[in-house]
């Protein structure tokens, strides 16, 4: 059974979720270990809906990570669009469900199944709708494209809703987002330095992760 409060408290404390999108499976564990060495404690494995084996492939990665880290790392799924994907994620050992959209059915189902719900939203209407449906956090996406001024404006009347900033986040701008009141961040490509995977430069990944973690924790 998922300890929902432990996951929620962990996200609030760690403030950083690493997003693994399109990562070759044979590079999964070494990349995750490099991120862990840099202080990352939450990893999202993203469903690739262009693949015919989308669910099987992603849940295989979730299961490998959950088994490998044995509780040292919290693992969940991203780009979750259906209740079927929620079930598959939880069966594989995932603890949290992240979506690019705010689907009330998926949010409620995630809650019913005992996992942490983190839907994506952009407008105040979407953010409030996701919160009313039962989201534990609302992912504001794409945060980086709109800038911190947008987050400040949205949070002014909605500061009671915990929000994660996702998309275009770098260590340099994290302090401004924290001042704006976000609860945490989701980061994908910027966590993996160009060429690091191809050359096996795990240290570069670890050092990059440390920059993000340090910025997020102030």
Active-site residues, by number, are: 44, 139
Q: 187 and 210 in contact (C-beta within 8 Å)?
A: no
User: What is the C-alpha to C-alpha distance for residues 103 and 119, in angstroms, rounded to an integer?
Assistant: 7
Determine contact, residues 142/167, Cβ cutoff 8 Å: yes
- The answer to whether the beta carbons of residues 211 and 193 sit under 8 Å apart is no
Sign of the CA dihedral running 21, 22, 26, 31: negative
What span, in angstroms and rounded, lies between the C-alpha atoms of 94 and 38?
21
Sign, CA dihedral 162-168-171-174, equals negative
């Amino acid at each position: 059974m998922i300890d929902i409060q432990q996951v929620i408290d962990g996200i609030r404390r760690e403030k950083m979720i690493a997003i693994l999108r399109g990562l070759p499976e044979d590079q999964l564990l070494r990349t995750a270990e490099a991120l862990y060495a840099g202080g990352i404690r939450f990893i999202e494995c993203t469903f690739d809906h262009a693949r015919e084996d989308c669910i099987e492939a992603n849940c295989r990665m979730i299961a490998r990570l959950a088994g490998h880290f044995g509780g040292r790392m919290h693992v969940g799924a991203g780009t979750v669009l259906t209740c079927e994907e929620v079930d598959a994620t939880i069966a594989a050992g995932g603890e949290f469900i992240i979506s690019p959209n705010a689907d009330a059915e998926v949010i409620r189902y995630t809650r019913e199944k005992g996992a942490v719900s983190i839907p994506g939203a952009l407008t105040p209407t979407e953010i409030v709708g996701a919160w009313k449906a039962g989201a534990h956090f609302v992912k504001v996406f794409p945060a980086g494209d709109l800038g911190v001024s947008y987050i400040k404006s949205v949070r002014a009347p909605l500061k009671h809703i915990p929000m994660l900033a996702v998309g275009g986040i770098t260590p340099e701008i994290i302090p401004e987002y924290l001042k704006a009141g976000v609860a945490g961040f989701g980061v994908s490509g910027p966590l993996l330095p160009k060429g690091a995977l191809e050359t096996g430069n795990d240290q570069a990944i670890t050092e990059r992760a440390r920059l993000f973690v340090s910025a997020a924790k102030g």
